[in-house]
């Protein structure tokens, strides 16, 4: 019997789950199904392209360091310390403010809608569902229509069913293919901040972009002042002044290019805020003033986006994970099992499957087979059989097999074992 135990295959995933039942529970961020990256124990959430955030910080900080170290020093020399120190201090404080806005944009939940563990029931969809999206007006493998109609400010808006998150997306919600999450009031995924821009961080994103634009204008202006002072002091032309202060020339060129990017982005988002649109809606639906159901007027649109209360996150990333699948603490020893596995729907694969995997069923068969071998153990010592007798173990195994719908296969195996015992 010891040889038989030594020859067994490694533990299956089901057995590992049984043995690890006493292990500390995982947190939500550790079992997260999206593509996000977490830091500080789930307190900060970033997109999968978080490395680009370092590049963005360098593009902001390095020019400001050059400006504070070189340009402000030249201004202090020309103005006899009357203005140079203030120019550098304002640039450094403003840069620190922009970095904080950048982290608030990229390191927080943008408005992720939690996934459903199971798809909604068809009867819960309601009469507003639209069946015309399915070929022949039929349901898909989930039994759910692809879209349903929702009333927004008196206008019917179609919302789609997300097969990944197993939910009907709220209005203005979209699934980000990069982060693999449904984000409320999805605007776009910004690679420069490494995060989706949604309902909970759009305000910080707009403040970050607009503040960066002002910083570029500030550095650009004082670099021109520095060059102008050099031209007046040495009575030379612009080219000669740039030769005397090459850092000013480099920063003027750099900020001129940058202001077209961040300044254009600021102008575009000012237009979006004034019309209460998102970037996704602007490129996808092309709303006008009459067809946009979210437009509440210029003043109300700015109040809603920039002055309204930011909703709390729907996710507690540090909460303990609630295991959906049942574990068997002592199925054979206690002579009973937990409730039979429920049928769940794998929407990504497009087919139904049981929550108990095939390898678990094979493992179950091997356990039943080994227990059947104990039925012929009437002459074996009690310490090998255990505390229960063979007849009790057989009864437990029958109940266990019936619980999982294996009663027929168990009965057939039992008949074979009886024939072999009568006909040695």
Tokens of 335: 């002579």
Q: For the residues of 177-215, what is the DSSP string, one character each?
A: TTTTEEETT--EEETTTTEEE-TTTHHHHHHHHHHHHHH
- Catalytically annotated residue among 176, 190, 196, 216: 190
Of residues 363, 401, 313, the one with CA closest to residue 8: 363
Q: Give the contacts of 147 (CB within 8 A, at least 6 positions apart).
A: 129, 130, 133, 158, 159, 160, 161
In the residue annotation, 176 being an active-site residue is answered as: no
* 3-class DSSP state of 39: strand
With beta carbons less than 8 A apart as the criterion, state whether 253 and 274 touch.
no
The Cα 134–Cα 139 span in angstroms is 6
With beta carbons less than 8 A apart as the criterion, state whether 148 and 129 touch.
yes
E strand or H helix that includes residue 20: none
Regarding beta strands 44-46 and 129-130, do their DSSP bridges make them parallel or antiparallel, or are they unpaired?
unpaired
The Cα 193–Cα 55 span in angstroms is 9
Annotated catalytic sites, by residue? 190
């Amino acid at each position: 019997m010891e040889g038989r135990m030594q020859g067994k295959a490694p533990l299956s995933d089901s057995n590992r789950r049984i043995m690890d039942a006493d292990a500390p529970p995982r947190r939500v961020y550790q079992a997260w199904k999206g593509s996000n990256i977490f830091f500080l124990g789930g307190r900060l959430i970033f997109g999968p392209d978080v490395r680009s955030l370092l590049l963005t910080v360098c593009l902001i900080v390095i020019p400001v360091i050059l400006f504070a170290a070189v340009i402000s020093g030249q201004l202090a020399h020309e103005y006899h310390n009357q203005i140079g120190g203030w120019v550098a201090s304002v640039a450094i404080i403003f840069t620190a403010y922009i970095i904080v806005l950048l982290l608030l944009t990229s390191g927080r939940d943008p408005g992720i809608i939690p996934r459903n563990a199971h798809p909604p029931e068809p009867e819960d969809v309601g009469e507003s569902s639209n069946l015309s999206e399915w070929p022949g007006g039929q349901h898909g493998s989930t039994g759910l229509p692809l879209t349903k109609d929702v009333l927004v400010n008196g206008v019917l808006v179609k919302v789609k069913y997300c097969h990944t998150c197993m939910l009907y997306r709220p209005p203005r919600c979209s699934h980000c293919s990069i982060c693999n999450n449904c984000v409320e009031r999805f605007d776009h995924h910004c690679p420069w901040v490494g995060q989706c821009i949604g309902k909970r961080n759009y305000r910080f994103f707009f403040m970050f972009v607009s503040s960066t634009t002002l910083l570029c204008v500030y550095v650009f202006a004082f670099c021109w002042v520095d060059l102008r002072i050099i031209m007046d002091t040495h009575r030379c032309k612009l080219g000669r002044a740039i030769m005397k202060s090459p850092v000013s020339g480099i920063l003027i060129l750099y900020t001129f290019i940058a202001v077209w990017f961040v300044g254009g982005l600021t102008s575009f988002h000012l237009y979006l805020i004034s019309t209460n649109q998102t970037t996704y809606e602007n490129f996808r639906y092309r709303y006008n003033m009459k067809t946009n159901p979210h437009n509440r007027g210029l003043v109300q649109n700015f109040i809603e986006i920039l002055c309204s209360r930011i909703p709390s996150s729907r996710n507690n990333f540090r909460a303990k994970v609630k295991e959906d699948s049942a574990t068997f603490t002592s199925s054979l020893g206690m002579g009973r099992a937990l409730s039979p596995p429920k049928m769940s729907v794998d929407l990504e694969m497009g087919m139904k499957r049981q929550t108990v995997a095939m390898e678990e069923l094979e493992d179950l068969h091997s356990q039943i087979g080994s227990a059947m071998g104990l039925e012929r153990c009437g002459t074996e010592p009690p310490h090998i059989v255990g505390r229960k007798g063979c007849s009790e173990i057989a009864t437990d195994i029958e109940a266990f097999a019936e619980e999982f719908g294996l009663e027929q296969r168990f009965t057939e195996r039992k008949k074979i074992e009886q024939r072999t015992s009568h006909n040695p």
